[in-house]
Structure 1
Amino acid sequence: MAVESAQVAPAGVAERDRPSTAERALKIIHQAWRPVALLALLFVAWWVVTATELVEPYLVASPGDTFAVIAEKSDYFWDNTLVTAWETIAGFVISIVIGVLTAVIMVYSTTIERTLYPLLLFAQVIPKIAIAPLFVVWLGTDLAPKIVVAVLMAFFPIVISMVTGLKSVDPEMLQLSATMGAGPAKTFYKIRLPASLPHLFSGLKIGATLAVTGAVVGEFVGANEGLGYVIQQANGNFDTPVLFAGLIIMSLLGVVLFALVELLEYFVLPWHASRRIDAATTSL
């Protein structure tokens, strides 16, 4: 007699259906309509201010002039955007590697943590625009100083977030791991690292936007290409349409990099509460 096996959910555990594609699309629309509406409102306000000539055109370029110059000089903006994007991504990746390694060392060594933490804080509060000229003198006017400034801008939130995440592990979990014979490496890989990822991604989102700022700041000091160079030249020539176009493209670059980190978090941390479609949130 054949016995059919049935999967029975454990007692006290409610089985949850996976959200459908339509539910995911509705969630995205629900989350996106507010910022889209705000951007549309700001755009309308920008157009009204320039159309009614509340300010002089050389102070605030109109939306029409701004987007017209982007279309007219598309190759010029594209080439300079690629330069800034490369500097930003290179600096961001380097800051992730150095930041994660530094955080791990600080967590596993109290002496190193007490030694490095004040130095990291001291380095963070120094205005990067003030020390960027030093990197130009030391490293020249190529990509290296811009990447270094991007690393310095993105490094601090990454290392602090990672340290916080690695320390947020329940001590009882660490004791249980040691009791079961797991070594430091296995404990780190199985317990500490997964627990630190939500904190790490929070730092990565901040670092992604700061890396763009760092690359542009480096270009302000000494460069002959990149969005920072475009903005600086437009500012010197009182060319507000090009200036506004450079600012918009720079902002979009930061948004795209932030979105990529958000997308990576979605695939890496599908189990986290913030990623669930039915997570408890305040809605208006």
Structure 2
Amino acid sequence: MTTPDGALALPAPAPLSGERPEWQRWALVVAVHLAGIALWELAVRVFAIQPFILPAPSKVLATLANPNYSWLKNTGVTALEVFGGYALGLVLGILCALLFITSKRLMLLVFPLLVTLNMIPKVAMGPLVIVWFSYGIGPNILITFSLCFFPILLTTIRGLNETEPELLDLVRALKGSRWQLFRYIQLPGSLPYVFSGMKVATILAVAGAVVGEFIASERGLGYLMIQVQASLDTPAVFMAVLLITGLGVLLYLLVLLLERLFITQDARIQ
């Protein structure tokens, strides 16, 4: 059968073998997590494991009803440290990458110093953070920032450098401005690398906030874990870990959403 213009009507391409719709992939992920929780509950009950060693998920969830833990307040503090430090690392990481790309001299002088500073263990900096900034949310945001900054900086620099020289020469030949060169060529080409660094930084952001609360904090989920650990309140420790994990997953999903909005699927770095 032919179309009115005489061209053959081709059938829609069939999906690749083994490729699942997106909603099925997400459903499978949720199902695997729920199955893991059910297996955890079953194992604790069957083997009669003591709660202070491995509490059942039901006992872990029961700790949410205890007002002494101030779950909402402590989760809010940790969330502020995670998202605040991450946002600061994202903004300054991209801005510094742009500065390094525009000035090779600055890249030569400052970038090696940043590499050396990044090698300093952040936990070892804890006592100095207390001396310089005392306790509080601010120092923990700085620790989170210090972990998130370098991966974003590094991947952004690489993305900006991956632009094809032929495209740059073409824009220059057409008398394009420096802003047009960045807006239409360098920025779109670097976005997959930027989001790759952002994904790595989500993991480091959660770790940075918790480390900061372990070292220098009077609030937050990390601080609460230290307090309840002394009394062998393992269910509360597990609940704090789950809430911290939830913050990390939320941040990662936010990055995935932004990546979906700004980058086509074929251009994403898996």
TM-score band w.r.t. shorter chain: 0.7 to 0.9
Q: Which contiguous aligned blocks of 4+ residues in structure 1 show a shift greater than 4 angstroms?
A: none
Equivalent AA in structure 1 for residue 159 of structure 2: G
Report the secondary structure of 2:75's partner residue: helix
- Give, in whole Å, the separation in 2 of the partners of 1:54 and 1:120: 52
Counterpart position of 1:134? 128
Report the secondary structure of 2:84's partner residue: helix
Structure 2 gaps, min length 5: 14-19
Give the paired residue count.
254
Counterpart position of 1:34? 28
Greater shift after overlay, 85-94 or 123-132?
A: 123-132
**CA shift at 1:75, angstroms?**
7.4
Q: 1:47 is matched with which residue: 30, 33, 41?
A: 41
**CA shift at 1:145, angstroms?**
0.7
Greater shift after overlay, 167-176 or 123-132?
A: 123-132
Counterpart position of 1:122? 116
Counterpart position of 1:278? none
Change (3 A) 1:266 1:75: farther
**CA shift at 1:39, angstroms?**
1.6
Change (3 A) 1:74 1:159: farther
Equivalent AA in structure 2 for residue 209 of structure 1: I
- Give, in whole Å, the separation in 2 of the partners of 1:215 and 1:83: 10
Is 1:101 the counterpart of 2:95? The answer is: yes
What TM-score, normalized to structure 1? Answer: 0.82
- Give, in whole Å, the separation in 1 of the partners of 2:84 and 2:267: 28
Equivalent AA in structure 2 for residue 273 of structure 1: D
**CA shift at 1:76, angstroms?**
1.1
Counterpart position of 1:273? 266
After superposition, the C-alpha distances for 1:19-59 in whole angstroms (9 at most, x for unaligned) are xxxxxxx8332221332233233223322332233654212
**CA shift at 1:112, angstroms?**
2.4
Change (3 A) 1:200 1:50: same
RMSD, aligned CA: 2.4
After superposition, the C-alpha distances for 1:146-185 in whole angstroms (9 at most, x for unaligned) are 0100101111111111011101111100011111111222
Change (3 A) 1:127 1:61: farther
Equivalent AA in structure 2 for residue 227 of structure 1: L
Question: Share of identical aligned residues, percent?
Answer: 32
What TM-score, normalized to structure 2? Answer: 0.86
Counterpart position of 2:252? 258
- Give, in whole Å, the separation in 2 of the partners of 1:50 and 1:236: 23
After superposition, the C-alpha distances for 1:228-280 in whole angstroms (9 at most, x for unaligned) are 111111222211010000000000000001111111121222x34157xxxxx
- Give, in whole Å, the separation in 1 of the partners of 2:227 and 2:102: 48
- Give, in whole Å, the separation in 2 of the partners of 1:50 and 1:80: 28
Report the secondary structure of 1:126's partner residue: coil
Structure 1 gaps, min length 5: 1-7, 9-13, 18-25, 276-280
Counterpart position of 1:4? none
Q: 2:172 is matched with which residue: 164, 173, 178?
A: 178
Change (3 A) 1:123 1:33: farther
Counterpart position of 1:76? 70
Instruction: Check conservation: 2:49, 2:55, Cα contact below 8 A.
Output: no
Is 1:152 the counterpart of 2:153? The answer is: no
- Give, in whole Å, the separation in 1 of the partners of 2:67 and 2:142: 29
Equivalent AA in structure 2 for residue 41 of structure 1: A
